[in-house]
Amino acid sequence: GESVGLHLPTLSVQEGDNSIINCAYSNSASDYFIWYKQESGKGPQFIIDIRSNMDKRQGQRVTVLLNKTVKHLSLQIAATQPGDSAVYFCAENQYNFNKFYFGSGTKLNVKP
């Protein structure tokens, strides 16, 4: 399958700071990406998605940036809160195929 990897396995931030989680992907044919949040013992939770015809998409407190030239994704979380502490995965697939391949994950620790 496709290879999707992350630069940082763990990230610690202070409550209220902004967080940036990065992800690299290797399949240039991938054109749809999702960021998921996974809390301990639970399934992944959808956060935000982006298609390859965009380079930025914003949600509530979160922004996803896509750089297709270098095959890189990032997730920005504004004003990080303790409830944001979790493992974050990026996942990729090809348009109209719902099969997702996941990166290795980044654990976000938010310090109060």
Partner 1 sequence: GAVVSQHPSRVICKSGTSVKIECRSLDFQATTMFWYRQFPKQSLMLMATSNEGSKATYEQGVEKDKFLINHASLTLSTLTVTSAHPEDSSFYICSASPSPGQSRFGGMNTEAFFGQGTRLTVV
101 binds partner 1 (CB under 8 A): yes
Quote the CA–CA distance of 66 and 31 in Å, as a whole number: 10
Quote the CA–CA distance of 79 and 108 in Å, as a whole number: 13
104 binds partner 1 (CB under 8 A): yes
Binding track over 16-55 against partner 1, x by CB under 8 A: ----------------x-x-x----xxxxxx--xxx----
**Coil vs helix vs strand at 57:** strand
The residue behind tokens 């044919």 is: 29
How many residues sit close enough to partner 1 to count as binding (CB under 8 A)? Answer: 25
Return left, alpha or beta for 36; rule: phi > 0 is left, psi -120 to 50 is alpha, else beta. beta
Binding track over 53-92 against partner 1, x by CB under 8 A: ------------------------------------x-x-
- Give, as one character, the DSSP assignment of residue 13: E
The contact set with partner 1 (CB under 8 A) reads 1, 32, 34, 36, 41-46, 49-51, 89, 91, 95-96, 98-105
